[in-house]
Each structure stands twice: as C-alpha cells, then as structure tokens.
Amino acid sequence: MESAELIAMLQAVRDRVRARNPQTAAGAADVTLADLSPLLHARDAALGKVAAIGSVNPRRGGPVNALVQGWKQLVARVLDWHVREQVEFNRKLVACVDAAMEAFNENNRALVELGNRLAAVQPMAEEMKDIRDHWTEWRGEWERKLERNEIQALRNVADLHGAFQHRVDMVDSTWRESLLAQHKAFQAELRTSADDIQRRLWADIERFRAEYERTIHAELRTVRQRAQTWGGVRSSLPAGAAAQPVPTLLFDYGKFAEKFRGPEEYVKNGQRIYLPDFSGRQSVLDIGCGRGEFLEMMRDAGVPARGIDLSEESVAICRAKGLNAEVADLFLYLNELQEASLDGIFCSQVVEHLAPERLPEMIKLCAASLARGGVIAIETPNPECLAIFATHFYLDPTHTRPVPSALLAFYMEEFGVGRIETRKLAPAVDSMPSLAELPAAFRDGFFGALDYAILGKKL
C-alpha cells in the first residue's frame, strides 16, 4: 500500500474519531458544549441513503430474482440521467453537513480552549474580585489623598516660596544695611580725615601767621624801639619802688564789690567762658584776683594758678579758700618774674584802675613774662557802650578812665602779642530792658555789651 493512501486513511479515521468525540479536547474546563450526536446520526443516515442510490434491494436467489434484478438495473441505468443531479445535490448536502459539523467541532474546541484559559485565570479573577469590590472606595480614598497631597505640596511650595522671599528680603536688607553702614563709616572716616586735614591746615596757618606776626613785630620793635631792650624795661623801675600807689578807702571795698559787682557765684559763672582758653596750662597768673573766683575755677579744672592783689582783705579771702594768692603790686611782681615763665595771664576789671600812662608798661611786662604761645586775657568795661557812663563805670570811685579795645589791641601788638580776639560780654539790654525799645542797629552800636574781653597769644 502506498504511503499517500495510508495517510488518507489515517486522516479519514482521525476525522471520524474527532467527529464522534468532539468533547474529548475539553480538558478540565467546565464549559458546556453543544451536542452534535443528532446531527452526526442524521449525516450518517444521509450517507447511507446516498450510498444506496443505484443499488437493488437484495432478494432470494432464483430465476425470478435474477430477472427482477436485471429489470431493476436496467431501469436504474435508464433513469440515471434523471437522478444524477439529485444524487449530486444529496452528496453536496452531505458535504455541507460535514463542513457544518467540522465547524461546530472547531467551535467546541475553541470553547474548550477558552474554558481552559478561563480556568487558568480563575484564581486571578478571584483575587481581582476584592479589587473590583473595593475599587470605588479605593479610588475615592486615593483621590482624597491625592487632593490632600496636592494641597500639602502647594502649601509646602508656598512656604518654601515665602521662606525664599523672606531670605531674599533679609539678604537684601542685610546688604543694604551693610552698604549703608559702610557708607556711614566711609563718610565718618572722610569727615575725620577732612577734620584732621583741616586741623593740620589751620595749625600750619596759625604757625605761619605766628611766624609772620613775630617777624613783623621784631621788625617794628627794631625800628621803633632800637634803643631799648627787655632787660632795660625791667630795670627801669627802681628797686623797692611802688609802681602803683595803694588807694586809701574809707569804706568796705569787699562789701562794695559784693553789692555792685555781684555775688561770687555770679562772677564765677561769667568767667567760665575763659576755661577753654586756659585749660591745660601749667603756670597761670591772675592779676587782681579779688575774691578768687578765677583761681577757684582753675583749681577745679586742675590748672596750676596763683593770684596777686593789692587788697589784703581779698588775699585773705583767697587764702581762706586754700588758694595761692599774695599781696603784691603788679608792676613790681611782673618786673621780678623771669622772662617767659608764664603760659597764661588773666586780668579782670583792673586796667580801668590804672593811670593811662602806666597801661603800656603793664602790657609790656605781661608780654615779657609770657612764654611763646602763652595766652593773656584782659576784661574791662566797654567804653563803646554809653550805658556804662550812666550807671556802672562811675559807681567805682577807683576807676580812672575806660580803655577802648582798639587801644589795648594796639598795645598788645606793639609788645609781641598777636592773634588778637575781642569778645563782647554782658549785653546792656539784659540789665536795662528799656533798651529793647530802641532800633536794633542803634542799640547794638551804642548800647551793646557793658564789658569786653580781649585775648591774645605771645608770638
């Protein structure tokens, strides 16, 4: 037997077996398949009928039978053209039934395969059931958590943005404050440097001015006083001679000063303007120290100072306060001093008591006693103020005549004192309020200050 025929036979057997047993491939799947047995039986019956076409029913043998069978076969051959199409149709119909059964068998096998696959995923489906049951709840909870997380994230972003903005503001503020502090420090350093430069400049200017004035004074002294020397001035006074006679007063001059000059505290407050000029000095002389107001101020400031006065009563008051004072004539005292032994001289309300011709001599002696750079301050009534002649000046019977500031400035410059400064003291309108009714320019010109102070430094 050929192999092709064998293969065809095996295929036919397989098809028949598969047709008769379509459910054998269902496996373990619980799938309900369509029952094809009735269709199979109907097909087999149709095939039987198709196979019987053209055959004669068998009968018992014999001549009659042979005759009948012969007749039938003849009729069958005669009618073959008539039934041929019917036979073909029947065969095609049977083939269609076979194809339908094959399709149904394939469908059953696909269902079985699907069932097997569904059986394989059944445990997973059971597991997914809980997920399906809780999916809505989980989704809602997840969305709520997502919303909370988004809100928290936005808050965190807002907090971070706020912190970053605060940090930026702090850095900007710190930078601005640092820049402002550096600018202020720079300005302060600049002002300090400018002030230092200005101080040094003024010091140099003052030094140049002092040298210039000293040179001018030396030249003037050479021209005007060629025949005189400083030693000659001092020796012009005879030894032991009284240059200024002591006036004999028939009244209590201390009580007079208390009433008309003012209490000690009032005088001391008025003399505080001289404190910056004498601070740091090492040897100061108060000519006409009186009750010692200036000496007390110098002692409180730590400045060594001594005073002289013609009044024994005034000197006694000073000594009772623990002040260094002695009774002495200013001309004799200054004449006996060593040259340049003082660095400060104060003289308040004294020069108006001197004779006019003795005033240059006093200034000359004071200038000779001062060291270079030493200061001299002279306070006296101001003759430019007409009010003093109606009230203050002639109240003191020991006054001789007022001394104009221009005259004192001339004497100082003549004897080597430069850098002259004049200060107006005690405005007349304070003690005479009626002067306020006068025009300001007229009042300042003729009723300005009752006293003045003139200050200078030894060149």
pLDDT in tens, 321-358: 999 999 999 999 999 999 989 999 999 989 988 998 99
- Of the two residues 418 and 61, the one the predictor is more confident about is 418
pLDDT of 119:
74
**What pLDDT, on the 0 to 100 scale, is given for residue 399?**
78
The 3-state DSSP class for residue 350 equals coil
Tokens of residue 109, six digits: 């096998």
- Comparing CA positions, the residue from 281, 333, 320, 321 lying closest to residue 304 is 281
Q: Over 80: is that where the pLDDT of 422 sits?
A: yes
Could you give the count of Cα atoms lying within 13 Å of 170 in the half-sphere of its Cβ? 6
Q: Read off the pLDDT of residues 140-193 as tens digits, 9 standing for 90 and up.
A: 888 888 899 999 999 999 999 999 999 999 999 999 998 899 999 999 988 888
Cβ partners under 8 Å of residue 414, min gap 6 = 220, 360, 363
Structure tokens at 99: 């194809």
Most confident range (mean pLDDT) of 6-10, 29-33, 357-361 is: 357-361
pLDDT tier at 240, thresholds 50, 70, 90:
very low
DSSP assignment string, 48-115: HHHHHTT-------SHHHHHHHHHHHHHHHHTHHHHHHHHHHHHHHHHHHHHHHHHHHHHHHHHHHHH
Residue 243 has pLDDT above 60, yes or no: no
**CA 345 to CA 368: how far, in whole Å?**
11
By percentage, how much of the chain surpasses pLDDT 70?
Answer: 74
Pairing outcome for strands 325-327 and 305-309: parallel
What 3-state class would DSSP assign to 379? strand
Q: How far apart are CA 435 and CA 427, in angstroms?
A: 10
Both tokens assigned to 274: 């001289």
Q: What is the pLDDT of residues 40-98, one digit of tens each?
A: 677 677 766 666 665 555 556 677 777 777 777 777 777 767 677 777 777 777 778 77
- Is this model's pTM higher than 0.85 or not? no
CA dihedral defined by 37, 43, 48, 51, rounded to 10 degrees?
A: -150
Amino acid (1-letter code) at residue 74 = L
Side chain identity at residue 140, one-letter code: G
Render the burial of 288-301: b for 16+ CB within 10 Å, e for the rest.
bbbbbbbbbbbbee
The dihedrals phi and psi of 6, each to the nearest 5 degrees, come to: -65, -40
Q: Residue 90 burial by CB count (10 A; 0-12/13-18/19+): exposed, middle or buried? A: middle
